[in-house]
Amino acid sequence: MDILNNILAGQVPMELYLGVSLIMFFAGVYGFLSRKSMLMILISIELMLNAADINFVVFNRYLFPGHLEGFYFTLFTIAIAACETAVAIAIIINIYRNLTSVEVGNLDQMKE
Amino acid sequence: MAQQIIFFVLAAIVIIFSILAVTSKQIIRSATYLLFVLLATAGFYLLLGYNYLFAVQIAVYAGGVMVLFIFAILLTNRPGESLKTELPVRRIAAGLTAIAGLAFCAHIIYYNVKKVSDLVAQADITPQQLGHTMMGTDKYQYLLPFETISILLLACIVGAIMIARKR
């Protein structure tokens, strides 16, 4: 109850943001390890990158207010994530055209 | 007070939908849950006072990347077909790995980050400030990474076209 009052009275503490991004990151890790479809693996990677973005922004805002380092790191990470997704989806579509399947178990047939 | 309520609503959305996104059987549902997670993340950016990141997150992730995902899913998936997952043993191993990592990092955060939880008020970031920071070569200015990203984007466009075109 005390903790709840503290949280509701003041600002949102930093570790709550970190906890949310932590859960998001490890949901991504679980999906990355437990799924077979390459698109699902890509979705998991997006989750992990997004969790890292939240951490950059939160550390910047709480520990170095007035600076913009974490802000720009997040900006560039978003751009790199978009690049990575575009190339990965191009590769996935190409693989689907050759193998009519996007499961990682079939990828050993890729050599022509 | 309002800030706390908004934070907890967004946190609940992020946690629930990120777990649903990796456990859902239908891939199109996974993509939709991922969209909700990305939108809630944009809400976090707004809550922390980074309006520009909010706009970028909505435009690039919720706009561009999600459209790519939906296209790829519709191109490679037969409708109504549920996804195969790994063997149960490997799923349990994956879950254990995730939970172990989660516990480890949560322990570190809980015992080390507690002392630094003050949120200092910060003036809004003006577009002028953003532009000067992005377009300079001094310390704390980011022209070189900006140009590198633009070259990366160009290479990425060319590469994606080269890979995905019909032979």
Please provide the DSSP assignment of B72-112 as one string.
HHHHH--TTPPPPB--HHHHHHHHHHHHHHHHHHHHHHHHH
The CA-atom distances, in angstroms, between A57 and each of A71, A78, B41, B77, B122 are: 6, 12, 11, 36, 14
Predicted pLDDT at A32? 92
User: Is the CB of B9 inside 8 Å of chain A's CB atoms?
Assistant: no
A16-20, A81-85, B77-81: least confidently modelled range: B77-81
Mean pLDDT within A50-78:
89
Closest C-alpha among B68, B10, B84 to residue B41: B10
State the Cα–Cα distance between residues B27 and B75, nearest whole angstrom: 12
* Predicted confidence (pLDDT) per residue in A25-51, tens digit: 999 999 999 988 889 999 999 999 999
What letters, b where the CB count within 10 A reaches 16 and e where it falls short, cover B1-16? eeebeebeebbebbbe
Task: Report the top-level CATH class of B1-79.
Answer: mainly alpha
Domain map (residue ranges) of chain A: 2-104
Mean pLDDT within A65-74:
87
pLDDT band of A6, cuts 50, 70, 90: low
Predicted pLDDT at A107? 76
Query: Does the pLDDT at position A2 exceed 80?
Result: no
Q: Do A65 and B120 touch (CB under 8 A)?
A: yes
User: Which of A22, A34, A44 is facing B85, going by the closest CB pair?
Assistant: A34
Query: Does the pLDDT at position A112 exceed 60?
Result: no
Q: Which CATH architecture fits A2-104? A: Orthogonal Bundle (1.10)
Walk along chain B (167 residues) in steps of 10 and give the mean pLDDT of each run: 87 94 89 94 91 92 90 82 74 92 91 70 79 84 90 92 80
State the Cα–Cα distance between residues B87 and A90, nearest whole angstrom: 28
User: To the nearest whole number, what is the mean pLDDT of chain A?
Assistant: 85
Domain with CATH 1.20.120.1200 in chain B: 1-79
Written as one letter, the residue type at A56 is F
pLDDT band of A21, cuts 50, 70, 90: very high
User: Is the CB of A94 inside 8 Å of chain B's CB atoms?
Assistant: yes
